[in-house]
Amino acid sequence: MTGPLLSVRDVSLSFKGIKALTALSFDVAEGEICSLIGPNGAGKSSLLNVLNGVYRADAGEIVFAGERFDRPTPIEAARRGIGRTFQNNALFKRLTVLDNVLAGLSRTARAGLFDHVFRTGRARREAAAFRDLAETAIAFVDLQGHRDALVGQLPYGVQKRVELARALVSEPRLLLLDEPMAGMNHDEKAEIARLIVDVNAELGTTVVLIEHDIGVVMGLSDHVVVLDYGRKVGDGRPEDVRENPDVVAAYLGTRH
């Protein structure tokens, strides 16, 4: 494939006349870590919701892996290779870590109801393959010791790793992370940052993440896109974005 893995072109989104995104355009190169930053209400989570099909944009287009992808559904996004985590852990608190991670494969399942009811060879093969993928994801985020624990009984930082494993289990080409370090202490943030680097370097996964900690963003990112009230005000390398006066005004304190 030539060109960027992801292109967002003039994407706009509104809710009852209130603009969430306005003619937003940027590219994400394959293999990079791209951070989205900006004040609360800047449109960052809305953008991720457009990219994985939770919202439908009013205008503009999305190109993923060389193909137009303007009005995806979450199932279609997952099958094309887009994984996602959310601001608040969307986990099943009464299920085990293993079962939560397996749930990340539900949108890629091919065996139908008939296969599962009659335990066909197709269903058995798919179940075995899914279990192998889940075990691999659990090991990658170092959760083997919690594999059979109920998620609701685990510390918050561990739950965030469960959610990351669930997003990784389908082996996405593009991983969208919505504030993966929110509410964490310094050590927990360092652990998640290390995992994101490993996901990018070892698995070759392109990452787009939302993060408010500027120190983390500048140390982690290859590319930073800055939003303010749904508009792009900065786009480039971390060191260039940090010196951009519009970014300073919008995000680092003079306007907010």
**Does the residue 245 lie in any domain?**
yes
Question: Which comes out higher in pLDDT, residue 187 or 109?
Answer: 187
Same domain, yes or no, for 73 and 109?
A: no
CB count in 10 Å sphere of residue 103: 16
> Residue 177: its pLDDT value, please?
97
Four-point Cα dihedral 130, 132, 137, 138, nearest 10: 110
Question: How do residues 217-229 score in pLDDT, each as one tens digit?
Answer: 999 999 999 999 9
> Residue 122: its pLDDT value, please?
62
**Does the residue 86 lie in any domain?**
no
Both tokens assigned to 15: 């809710």
Q: If you average pLDDT over residues 167-174, what whole number do you get? A: 96
Q: Which residue has the tokens 């685990």?
A: 154
CA–CA separation, 162 and 151 (whole Å): 8
End-of-domain residue from the set 124, 151, 171: 171
DSSP of 25-36, one letter per residue? EEEE-TT-EEEE
Same domain, yes or no, for 103 and 65?
A: no
Question: How do residues 56-115 score in pLDDT, each as one tens digit?
Answer: 999 999 999 999 987 788 888 988 999 999 887 789 999 999 999 999 987 665 545 444
DSSP of 190-253, one letter per residue? HHHHHHHHHHHHHH--EEEEE---HHHHHHH-SEEEEEETTEEEEEE-HHHHHT-HHHHHHHSS
Residue 30: half-sphere exposure toward Cβ, Cα within 13 Å: 14
Residues 171, 107: contact at Cβ < 8 Å? no
- Which DSSP category does 10 fall into? E
Same domain, yes or no, for 160 and 178?
A: no
Residue 170: half-sphere exposure toward Cβ, Cα within 13 Å: 26
Please give the mean pLDDT across all residues of the chain: 89
End-of-domain residue from the set 150, 171, 192: 171
Count the domains in the chain: 2
CA–CA separation, 228 and 37 (whole Å): 9
Question: How do residues 12-56 score in pLDDT, each as one tens digit?
Answer: 999 988 999 999 999 999 999 999 999 888 999 999 999 999 999
- Domain that residue 110 falls in: 91-171
Same domain, yes or no, for 113 and 67?
A: no
End-of-domain residue from the set 108, 142, 171: 171
pLDDT-derived band at 255, boundaries 50, 70, 90: very low
- CATH of residue 184's domain is 3.40.50.300
> Residue 151: its pLDDT value, please?
97
> Is the per-residue pLDDT at 118 higher than 60?
no
CA–CA separation, 209 and 196 (whole Å): 10
Question: Which comes out higher in pLDDT, residue 214 or 124?
Answer: 214
Question: Which comes out higher in pLDDT, residue 153 or 1?
Answer: 153
CA–CA separation, 198 and 234 (whole Å): 27
> Residue 70: its pLDDT value, please?
73
pLDDT-derived band at 142, boundaries 50, 70, 90: very high
